Structure 1
Amino acid sequence: MKAIVFKELKANRKGLSMWMFGMLFMVAIGAAEYGTVVENSESIMSMMDAMPRIVKVIFGMDILPVYTPLGYYVCMYLWYSMVAFAHAIVLGATIISKEERDRTAEFLYTMPYSRKTIISGKIIAAVINVLCMTIFTFLCIILTLVSQMNGESIMPLILTTMIGMFFAQMLCLAIGLFFSSLFNYHRTAMSMAILFFALSFVLAIVIEFVGNIEFLNFLTPFRYFFAPYVVTNGISSVYLLLSLFFTGVFVFLTYKLFEKRDIHC
């Protein structure tokens, strides 16, 4: 299995680097705008007051004042999580079935390894990729954004949100793996993963905008560790357990479905 893990890490290093570059770009944009937002807090607030509430909800400006260090970070966290979650679910949808896409499945699945061993190696490599993405995001935020925030230490809160992001990424990864094992063709699995990601984001916006349908939070990873609530109340044990439960269920289904699936070479 160790050989499979290292093979997958090597095969995915280019893709991971591209996603990390996207995250760095997102964090850098936020860091570059922070000083402007703080210096022009009064005009920013008057502009926000004139915005429709749905716009403020979409951009994460509806709960905490965006001109404060914590409020600005919470606003940007939504965009960081979009990149991180997209990476996780796309990785899950591709890491198992990419051999079918590249027409190399016959070589891999005729090696002296069971399908279960191959899948396990791929999942371990995917988890390492997700962990690297989370650590990289945390370091980027610390080096570019937090370094500008004088007078208020929000490092513990950022670390807490990063932990929540990791568990949400794991759920997205498991959902991507499930789609990859459920559908016979790589393009279908990828399309369903992207559709789920888009619908999850829209549902998260609707839940926040409506305000009294929080019971639907379990349907979207964006709401499991919602940054404004995490920085106020910490990580919810309920959603932590739910994320672990659903991650385990989707991984279990991945094993069961893929062992019965026809491999298209």
Structure 2
Amino acid sequence: MKTIYLKELKLTQKTLVIWLVLIVMLTGFAAIEFIVLKDAMGEIAAMAESFPKIILILFGLNGVRVDTPLGAYQCMVFWTNLLAFFYAGFSGIFAVSREERFGTSEFLFSKPYKRSAIIWAKIGAAVTNLFVFSLTVGIMSYLCIILPLGDLSITGVHIITTLGIFLTQVVLFSVGIFISGLAKSYKTASLFTMLTVTAFYVISFALDYIGTMDFLKVLTPVSYFNVVSVSENGLSPFYILLSLIIILAGCFMAIRFFERKDLCNS
């Protein structure tokens, strides 16, 4: 199992690096933008107040004042989450269905290991990659947003926000691997995962727009640890518990599907 885990880390290294480069580019660009526009942030925030609410929601400005260090950080988290969450969803697809796509299923699953052990090793490697991804987001956000803006008082918020990103990523990963267990092909699994993560965002935007139905946020993992609510109230114990339930249920169900699935002849 350890051998498969390490091999999986090596095989997914290139993909992870590509996504991390995107994160570095995004946060680096944001740092330059915030520094250049620092003196004009007050005017930008005042102008944003006149925008329709739906525009504010779509650009991560709902309830956020970009002329404050905390507001600028919250806005940046919204954009990094777009990359983080789609990467997490597709990590679930890539974990096992990759073997079907590239025709290596027969070789891998003929090894003297239980199929469940192989899949658990792949899950472990994927979660490790997600941890590295979240850690990189946290470090880059600190270096490129918090330090340039000069307000270290939001470091505590930054830490719990990063933990929230990681938990959400693992939830979406478990959804992705669950879908890949159900789907008959890599292409179908990829399509449904993209649509599912997009649907989560659409539901989140709709609930933010309505603003009076917070209890429905259980339907969309991308809202479990919303950066604004986490900044104000910390990580919700209810959503932490719900996330763990979804993660365990998604992974165990996926393993059951893959144990019954004909991978060698797909």
User: What TM-score does the superposition give when structure 1 sets the normalisation length?
Assistant: 0.97
Shift of 1:66: 1.1
Q: Which residues of structure 2 form unaligned runs of 5+?
A: none
Shift of 1:94: 1.3
Between 146-155 and 10-19, report the one with greater CA deviation.
Answer: 146-155
**What secondary structure sits across from 1:96 in the alignment?**
helix
Question: 1:218 — aligned with what?
Answer: 218
Question: 1:18 — aligned with what?
Answer: 18
**What secondary structure sits across from 1:65 in the alignment?**
coil
Q: Deviations over 1:42-101 (max 9, x none)?
A: 321332123111111111212131110001111111111111111111011111111110
Question: 1:136 — aligned with what?
Answer: 136
Shift of 1:132: 0.5
Q: Following the alignment from structure 2 to structure 1, what is the Cα–Cα distance between the partners of residues 97 and 64?
A: 42
Shift of 1:152: 4.6
Question: 1:6 — aligned with what?
Answer: 6
The letter of the residue matching 2:3 is A
Q: Deviations over 1:9-49 (max 9, x none)?
A: 00000000001011111111211111234311332133212
**What secondary structure sits across from 1:50 in the alignment?**
coil
Q: Which residues of structure 1 form unaligned runs of 5+?
A: none
Whether contact under 8 Å (1:38, 1:68) holds in the other structure is no
Question: 1:234 — aligned with what?
Answer: 234
Aligned residues: 265
Distance 1:166 1:245, change over 3 A: same
The letter of the residue matching 2:255 is Y
Q: Following the alignment from structure 2 to structure 1, what is the Cα–Cα distance between the partners of residues 50 and 180?
A: 44
Question: 1:205 — aligned with what?
Answer: 205
Whether contact under 8 Å (2:146, 2:152) holds in the other structure is no
Whether contact under 8 Å (2:31, 2:145) holds in the other structure is yes
The letter of the residue matching 2:213 is I
1:27 aligns with 2:27: yes
Q: Deviations over 1:156-215 (max 9, x none)?
A: 110010011111111011001101111121111111110001111111111101101212
1:171 aligns with 2:177: no
Q: Following the alignment from structure 2 to structure 1, what is the Cα–Cα distance between the partners of residues 151 and 13?
A: 38
Question: 1:160 — aligned with what?
Answer: 160
Q: Following the alignment from structure 1 to structure 2, what is the Cα–Cα distance between the partners of residues 35 and 228?
A: 22
Whether contact under 8 Å (2:168, 2:224) holds in the other structure is yes
Q: Following the alignment from structure 2 to structure 1, what is the Cα–Cα distance between the partners of residues 73 and 194?
A: 26
Q: How does 1:1-265 map to 2 (within 5 A)?
A: 1-263=1-263, 264-265=265-266
Q: Following the alignment from structure 1 to structure 2, what is the Cα–Cα distance between the partners of residues 42 and 23?
A: 27
Q: Following the alignment from structure 2 to structure 1, what is the Cα–Cα distance between the partners of residues 135 and 142?
A: 11
The letter of the residue matching 1:154 is I
Q: Following the alignment from structure 1 to structure 2, what is the Cα–Cα distance between the partners of residues 65 and 85?
A: 24
Q: CA RMSD in A?
A: 1.2
% identical aligned pairs: 32
